[in-house]
Amino acid sequence: KRYESLQINESDYFANNLASIHYSFKRTFEKLRKKPHNEWVMSPPTVNAYYSASKNSIVFPAGILQAPFFDKSFPQSLNYGAMGVVMGHELTHGFDDQGREYDKFGNMKQWWDPEAVKRFKDKTQCMIDQYSEYQLHGEHERGKQTLGENIADNGGLKSAYNAYKKWVKENGEEQLLPALALTHEQIFFLSFAQVWCWNSKPETDHMQFLTDPHSPAKFRVIGPLSNSYEFSDVYKCS
């Protein structure tokens, strides 16, 4: 019943795409002036997650709560390195360049004092400069465009690692995996990086640089690890 007004043609993919977009916008406008109600932005099978500033909430659909992000049979180093970082990422959005402008009730409000705002802007400018130096196919990333997601990537990695170390303190060290000369701290970072294994065409990368608020997958690994003292320590980087 929900889709009875959506007309689909079996032989015209382009027209179907336009009809789908038109239908989506139509449903959005129909909600105007109506009482708000709880509705997920993503469907349960979606492999993604999101933070809602207006609701001050984070949502993890069922699709992402499975391997390779999470499995109850996995070592906790793998779970924290993948799903833990995703959770930390969404939590950090509450304090990024946009999330910080909303209070705990989801209202847009300046709740930081001037000194905190100044220090935040100083530190985030360093991050803008850092990511703007990254190049792919000779094209520089737009560090200002990707700032919010880069803050969340860096904060998510740090908070997840701290959470894993807290788990180890409370539950004890995990047994080392056979035939793998890595500590579980090293496996944590390996799990984080593995999530972003990616293969794309140069044209796709170019379009992402132009429009996407996320950094390319490669830099979503290199950036946070370059800023991580913990990574440098466990891998003995010089």
Taking each helix axis from N to C end, the angle separating 147-171 and 217-226, rounded to the nearest 10 degrees, works out to 60
> For residue 215, what are its two tokens?
């950094």
**What pLDDT digit, counting tens, does each position of 45-101 carry?**
999 999 999 899 999 999 999 999 999 999 999 999 999 999 999 999 999 999 999
- Residue 39 has what pLDDT? 73
Contacts for 135-139: CB closer than 8 Å, 24+ residues apart? 136/205, 136/209, 136/216, 136/218, 136/219, 137/202, 137/205, 137/206, 139/205, 139/206, 139/209
Confidence band (pLDDT; 50, 70, 90) for 3?
Answer: confident
> Is the confidence at residue 186, as pLDDT, over 90?
yes
Whole-structure pTM value: 0.88
> For residue 149, what are its two tokens?
């997601």
Domain 42-234 sits in CATH at 3.40.390.10
Displacement of CA 238 from its chain's centroid (Å)? 29
Mean pLDDT of 6-16: 92
- Tell me the C-alpha distance between 84 and 102, whole Å: 24
From the number of C-beta atoms within 10 Å of its C-beta (0-12, 13-18, 19+), residue 87 rates as buried
Within a 10 A sphere around the Cβ of 156, how many other Cβ atoms?
A: 22
> Is the confidence at residue 37, as pLDDT, over 70?
no
> Is the confidence at residue 221, as pLDDT, over 90?
yes
- Residue 157 has what pLDDT? 99
Active-site residues, by number, are: 90, 153
- Tell me the C-alpha distance between 85 and 121, whole Å: 24
- Residue 181 has what pLDDT? 93
Peptide bond before 68: cis, by omega within 30 degrees of 0?
Answer: yes
Mean pLDDT of 10-34: 90
Mean residue pLDDT of the chain comes to 95
More confident residue, 161 or 25: 161
Mean pLDDT of 207-223: 96
- Residue 98 has what pLDDT? 96
Map out the domains of the chain as residue ranges. Answer: 1-37, 42-234
User: Of 67, 68, 63, 28, nearest to 49 (Cα)?
Assistant: 63
Within a 10 A sphere around the Cβ of 136, how many other Cβ atoms?
A: 17
- Residue 31 has what pLDDT? 83
- Tell me the C-alpha distance between 19 and 25, whole Å: 10
> Is the confidence at residue 36, as pLDDT, over 80?
no
Token pair 């303190």 is at which residue? 169
More confident residue, 224 or 25: 224
Q: Is the distance from CB of 223 to CB of 154 less than 8 angstroms?
A: yes
More confident residue, 34 or 26: 26
Token pair 């990616």 is at which residue? 198
Pairing of strands 139-140, 135-136: antiparallel
Mean pLDDT of 18-37: 86
> For residue 224, what are its two tokens?
């946070």
227 three-state secondary structure: coil
**What pLDDT digit, counting tens, does each position of 98-142 carry?**
999 999 999 999 999 999 999 999 999 999 999 999 999 999 999
